[in-house]
Amino acid sequence: MATPITMPALSPTMEEGTLTKWLVKEGDSVEPGDVIAEIETDKATMEVEAVDPGVIRKLLVPEGTEGVKVNAPIAELSTEGDDEDADADAEKPKEQSSEKAKDKSADARKDPPKQSEKPKAPAKAPPSGVSDGKRVKASPLARRIASQKGVDLKSLTGSGPHGRIIKADVEGASGSSGEGKPPPRGEVSLIEPALLDDRVYPPDSYDITPLDGVQKVTARRLTQSFMQVPHFPLTIDLEIDRLLAARKAMNESAEGRVKVSVNDMLIKAAALALIEEPDANASFTDNGIARHKGAHVSVAVAIEGGLITPVVRDAHRKGLAQIATEMKDLAARARERKLKPQEYMGGTFSISNLGMFGIKSFASIINPPEGMILSVGAGSQRPVVRDGQLAIATVMSVTLTCDHRVVDGATGARWLEHFKQFVETPEAMLL
């Protein structure tokens, strides 16, 4: 028999993926290590390699199929000896059928059917929209309207292709028990699915763009984080004139070999502050507080349809030039969705910088299991008071969001003190 090729788990958190593209076709020969498909996970698009040699007998999952569960068969591979076994297996049913036919013929001669026995009535066929009593074949729009009207899709007969239930079938049906209807005006339901009320937004007044893997995982994880993690924010202002001057001097001396950004310097400062305040470099677990030995800084990178957080590992041990080079490479491959799982997992702290968009101050949602995330705003010239005198300085506001189960207010404040020192006196990062 054929050897199944299954959907691989390309990251520890992967539960399902999208089979983006087949790179082989039925009948192709493959060797171990040959790339056979592209799979879109929750964070990236990755290549799948063949494990065994053989011939692709059948592709079970079409290109573009979403929600393919890990370990579900996606193709069949014929290995050496499979064809002979298959031929032998194919002959067996014929022989068995012949024997059964003979047995039936003999039985018919021995025991003719009794006249009193009536043939059983055929089972009533289910509505055409029902597939084998399991999943109802219906368009997404029809499902949404049915949920809003409280219509049981199993009771409908579909007029679409292959009996699929479409919008017109649902609109012509009446609601039953009222289940699934939107809550009355003025009331809020916390268990209703995220559907738009067609009394406010007619179905033909907008278009639905399906969620991709990144958006689904981001929505689920951030909702869980916001509801389950007790957040609290701490905000301070930093004077960054010396940091900007140091960055300019470094880039001029590098003569184009490398270009250090403000964000690169903040990554280094954050990592050093985590080492100075190890109680802040921690994660909450059911077994206790996990205090990390290395400062692995996750950096939010905007990609099409969402964001991803590639990790600069052991950033406290790396120079600014190395951090700048790594971040440039990680960000580029993140936007192409070419990161490996180990390149966007395992961070102990996060930085999200919206300063380039002119955002002055904001607070981010914690990225579990990390215990803190730093939100960086835009630097701008602001009035400051020095020794009782009014002066102008380039000031940047940052907000540290903490998981109170791990980092209390005093610990977070101490971390910010260390971070402030490294930012406002950047030469301290060289010591």
Considering only the C-alpha atoms of the chain, give the largest distance between any 2 of them, rounded to a whole number of Å: 116
* Catalytic residue flag (residue 296): no
Residues forming beta bridges with residue 232, ordered by sequence position: 402
The DSSP secondary structure of 287-313, one letter per residue, reads: TEEEE-SS--EEE-EEETTEEE--EET
How far is Cα of residue 386 from the mean position of the Cα atoms in its chain? 48
Alpha helix segments (H runs only) across 207-319 = 213-228, 241-254, 262-276
Distance in angstroms (rounded) separating the CA atoms of residues 47 and 38: 5
Contact at 8 Å (CB) between 213 and 44? no
Say which amino acid occupies 237: D
Catalytic residue among 292, 296, 316, 404: 404
Calpha distance 342→346 (Å, rounded): 7
Please tell me the distance from the alpha carbon of residue 352 to that of residue 362, in angstroms, as a whole number.
10
CA dihedral of 288, 223, 301, 242, whole degrees rounded to 10: -70
Beta strands in 50-136 (DSSP E): 54-59, 65-69, 73-78, 130-131, 135-136
In 15-120, the DSSP E strands lie at 16-22, 29-30, 35-40, 45-49, 54-59, 65-69, 73-78
| Residue 140 CB neighbour total at 10 angstroms | 10
Terminal-to-terminal C-alpha distance of the chain: 65
State how far the Cα of 199 lies from the Cα of 207, in Å rounded to an integer.
Answer: 16
Report, as residue numbers or ranges, the catalytic residues.
404
